[in-house]
Amino acid sequence: MTQIRPQPGIMEIALYQGGASKIAGRDEVLKLSSNENPFGPSPRAIEAVMAAAAGMHLYPATDHGPLRAVIAQGLGLDASRVICGVGSDEVITFLCQAYAGPGDEVLHTEHGFLMYRISALAAGATPVVVPERDRVVDVDAILAGVTARTRLVFVTNPGNPSGTMISDAEMARLAEGLPATCLLVIDAAYIDYVEGHDGGAALVEARDNVVMTRTFSKIYGLGGLRVGWGYGPRAVIDVLNRVRGPFNLSNLALAGAEAAMRDSGYMQMCRAVNREQRARLAEGLAAMGYPSDPSHGNFILVRMADADAARAADAHFKENGIIVRLVAAYGLSDAIRITVGTQEDVTRVLAVMAGFGATA
């Protein structure tokens, strides 16, 4: 029998399951399960990727300098404090790899992103779950859950799959209340849908124990290119760059992300449509008796009567060619998450859900 064994924690990882993209027996479906931009990427990003394709035989830059510069310029940040990764997932992995290990704890809330637990276990650390209050991050519960072994605290803001947010003041109170040996990581993957919010950048600059992560996968429509980034204290970014692979982002990914970042008008259009259609979707479903919390992302979390009703609604959507997301893995078995699509998509979702009410 082989004596080859993986590191402790690896076999405790349940494989991450992304949103489904196919329905058996149907060639065309409306996918509203992965919070993708229904308009796709900026045309400028597409052009930039096509132009970069001719240089696929060349290694990309190792320091991501042009992309970091355009991120910093667009958001008023310090480029030297930006790190880029294969999605914000990779930055989360870097943080766990660099700052947590056997004997350490990584804390996250009960409905937080599944990659926090996965990345903690992969590093040999112990994930610790603390409760939320009515699907909203509870700062007091987090502070009560912190121990001398806590090295990282992950907070998704806006939350996924809830869509809820905590205030800047509450986030600052959390950062202030953590021990000196602990980093607060603000996962702001959906903050681009909140107009005028910096995602925690000011808090990063005001303190030495806060890191912010962001992504190009959502409002910028580049999920298939896999580009994310983080912003943190220089000392932390220096550490993360020591574990980052030198060529972790391709020439195509770098070109596409840079062009997308420069096309602020396209991003603002996507945000405006999302805001309008998100309200229409939430209000329409609430009128049918299916409530949701005020969402600050590009999705809503629809609460059903119970887990059976959630599964029945999911099956009803599939029968009508629409894929939504069951979120039992996030501790919300009685809910479904629906990505906000175009005006036509929302009209279709509301019609299908009205039919579900008639047949339930």
Task: For residue 335, give Cα distances in angstroms to 137, 292, 305, 332.
Answer: 18, 9, 8, 6
pLDDT by residue (tens digit) across 26-78?
668 899 999 999 999 999 999 999 999 999 999 999 999 999 999 999 999 99
Mean pLDDT of 290-303: 97
Tell me, what's the pLDDT at 360? 46
Distance, CA of 281 to CA of 30 (rounded, Å): 15
- Tens of pLDDT, residue by residue over 82-113, are 999 999 999 999 999 999 999 999 999 999 99
Average pLDDT for residues 153-173, to the nearest whole number?
Answer: 97
CB-based contact 106:152 (threshold 8 Å): yes
pLDDT attached to residue 357: 67
Query: What's the confidence (pLDDT) of residue 133?
Result: 96
- Residue-wise pLDDT tens digits, 35-45: 999 999 999 99
Q: Kindly indicate the confidence band of residue 12, based on its pLDDT and cuts at 50, 70 and 90.
A: confident
Indicate the pLDDT class of residue 1, thresholds 50, 70 and 90. Answer: low
The mean pLDDT value for 111-133 works out to 94
In the structure, how many helices (H) and strands (E) does the chain have?
Answer: 12, 12
The residue-averaged pLDDT of 274-283 equals 98
Q: How high is the pLDDT of residue 9?
A: 74
Q: What percent of the chain has pLDDT over 90?
A: 90
Q: Does residue 132 surpass a pLDDT of 60? A: yes
pLDDT over 70 at 21, yes or no: no
Q: What is the DSSP string of 231-277?
A: E--HHHHHHHHHHS-TT-S-HHHHHHHHHHHH-HHHHHHHHHHHHHH
| Residue 89 pLDDT | 95
The structure tokens listed for 277 are 């259609």
CA quadruple 117, 121, 123, 128: dihedral sign: positive
Residue range 257-269: average pLDDT? Answer: 97
How confident is the model over 166-187, as a mean pLDDT? 97
Evaluate whether 81 touches 127 at the Cβ level (below 8 Å): no
> Mean of the per-residue pLDDT values for the chain?
94
Name the band, by pLDDT with cuts 50, 70 and 90, for residue 225.
very high
pLDDT of 151 above 80: yes
Domains and CATH numbers, the chain: 10-40+265-359 (3.90.1150.10), 43-263 (3.40.640.10)
pLDDT digits (tens, 9 = 90+) for 339-352: 999 999 999 999 99
Is 304 a residue whose pLDDT tops 70? Answer: yes
Q: What span, in angstroms and rounded, lies between the C-alpha atoms of 66 and 115?
A: 28
Report pLDDT for 28. Answer: 81
